[in-house]
Amino acid sequence: MVNVQPIKIIEYYRIEYGQFETKYNLINLAHGSPDFLPPIFMRNALLNLTISNDTSINQYSNNYGHLLLRKSIAHLYSELINRNLNPENNVIVTTGATEALYVTLQAHTSPQDEWIIMEPSLDFYGNIVRMAGGTPTYIQLYQMNGSGGRVSSRDWMYDKKEMARLFNKHTKGIIINNPHNPTGKVFSKEELQFIADLAVKWNTIIIADEVYEWFIYESNNHIRMATIPNMFERTITICSASKTFSVNGWRIGWIYGPSELLNNLRIVHPNVVHSSPSLAQVAVAAAINECLEDFEREESYLENNSRWMHAKRNKLLELLWEIGMTPVIPEGGHFVIANWTGLDLKANLEEDVDEFLDYRFTKWLARNVGVLALPVSSFYSDENKYLGESFVRFCFVKKNKTLEKAAKLLMEWIQW
């Protein structure tokens, strides 16, 4: 028998936590999948396509994306970044944002190249860098607010001196997730400009993961990296229909940026997935066109959707404060991270003592309370996992009924 060694690149929690929901009949607030339907205009668009007499819609699209979708994306972002994007040269459609990140790093990474990643971060950032032959270099977002009051995600900041030290002759680029998962941080113009100046100084690329671009709360302002002076020429921006329209399963993402940086991606992408699903692409194009028309109206889908998510965020925050956790108020995105350690006496964490505390707590919560959260240490590299074990992550992009059920279970637990 051939001795094949498994690739240890995916955290075991992905498998284990994925089984918890069915095993324990849980309220799943761990994963970022909505449990409600996408907007009716998207479903109608897809339905109409399935019964269309257009035979081409059931076949391969252009390798770089269906032209209807690339035109819609180019139109949308030309408006947003105040630059004329060409659908042929400045846009590539991908099978989700994860594939977009994969092909970008594969196309722009050589041995000895370093990519700067801000932690906490999605684990696949570092994994894909290593798969491409590069080296991930981590910098922390530190919680700067020490007053003991309510903490906002804006209080999670990188150290400028540390950031400046990380850039060097081997730095190929930096990945900026904005709004940030899991903290919900929306980077300020000053923070982005500081990184932009370093990118110019060291002639590096910036990968801007902006999949949560439409979920900004209160008076916070999302600044697209490509709009910073001199940054469009060195920025590859990744976005997705998954978050914007609550269709994670459609697997439609996209990349926009300068043609020179996208040239290598045009070689890699078709050799990874060939092309993305045609039906889903055309339906997403219709949805984007609907939103473009909405921009002329007082009430748009994107504004209403963000307002709706804002209310859900507030509902979850109030619950977490009430049960005794200390949540970080997110400026954007779909998640709330919360310091749970004030409740350590309410949970018996004697089992699995070889694991980090947040793993032990979230497992105990799942088995005994019926609510699934995600350990934040899973968003850190191996050497830094201890930095996240005081926090767990909850997703609030759920039906109100789901959030109310979770609230009932958590409040009953606290009253034991």
Residue showing tokens 């982005």: 192
DSSP, residue by residue, 161-189: HHHHHH--TTEEEEEEESS-TTT-----H
pLDDT at 263 over 80: yes
Q: Residue 190: pLDDT band by 50, 70, 90 thresholds?
A: very high
Does pLDDT of 1 surpass 70? no
Residue with tokens 């889903």: 280
On the question of a cis peptide bond just before residue 182, with omega within 30 degrees of 0, the verdict is: yes
CA–CA gap between residue 347 and residue 213 (Å, rounded): 37
Strands 114-119 and 135-140: parallel
Range of lowest pLDDT (133-142, 188-197, 201-210, 302-311): 302-311
Local structure of 241: helix, strand or coil: helix
Residue 297 has pLDDT above 80, yes or no: no
pLDDT of residue 10: 47
DSSP state of 274: S
Cα dihedral sign, 159-164-167-168: negative
One-letter amino acid of 198: L
205-227 per-position pLDDT tens digit: 999 999 999 999 998 899 999 99
Position 36 pLDDT exceeds 60? yes
Q: Would you state the pLDDT for residue 11? A: 54
> How much of the chain exceeds pLDDT 70, in percent?
93
Which H or E run contains 243?
helix 241-244
Q: In this predicted structure, what is the pLDDT of residue 15?
A: 65
**Whether the predicted pLDDT of 87 surpasses 60:** yes
Q: Name the CATH superfamily for 13-38+301-414.
A: Aspartate Aminotransferase, domain 1 (3.90.1150.10)
The string of pLDDT tens digits covering residues 93-139 is: 999 999 999 999 999 999 999 999 999 999 999 999 999 999 999 99
Strand-pairing partners, residue 239, are 254
Task: Say if residue 244 is exposed, middle or buried (CB neighbours under 10 Å; 0-12, 13-18, 19+).
Answer: buried
Every domain of the chain and the residues it spans: 13-38+301-414, 42-294
In CATH, the number for domain 42-294 is 3.40.640.10
Q: What is the pLDDT of residues 157-187, one digit of tens each?
A: 999 999 999 999 999 999 999 999 999 999 9
Q: What is the mean pLDDT of the chain?
A: 92
Q: If you average pLDDT over residues 386-390, what whole number do you get?
A: 95
Cβ-based burial of 343 (10 A; exposed 0-12, middle 13-18, buried ≥19) = middle
What pLDDT was estimated at residue 303?
Answer: 84
Equal fold, 13-38+301-414 vs 42-294: no
Listing DSSP states for 299-349 in one string gives S-HHHHHHHHHHHHHHHHHHHHHHHT-EEEE-SBSSEEEEE-GGGGGGS--
Q: Give residue 154's region: left, alpha or beta (phi > 0; psi -120 to 50).
A: alpha
**Is pLDDT at 391 greater than 70 in this prediction?**
yes
Residue 296 has pLDDT above 80, yes or no: no
- Tell me which H or E stretch contains 226: none
DSSP 8-class letter at 94: E
Please state whether beta strands 114-119 and 326-329 pair in parallel, antiparallel, or not at all (unpaired): unpaired
39-76, pLDDT tens digit by residue? 999 999 999 999 999 999 999 999 999 999 999 999 99
Rounded to the nearest 5 degrees, what angle is found at the Cα of 112, between the Cα atoms of 127 and 129? 15
Q: d(Cα 279, Cα 22) in Å, to the nearest integer? A: 31
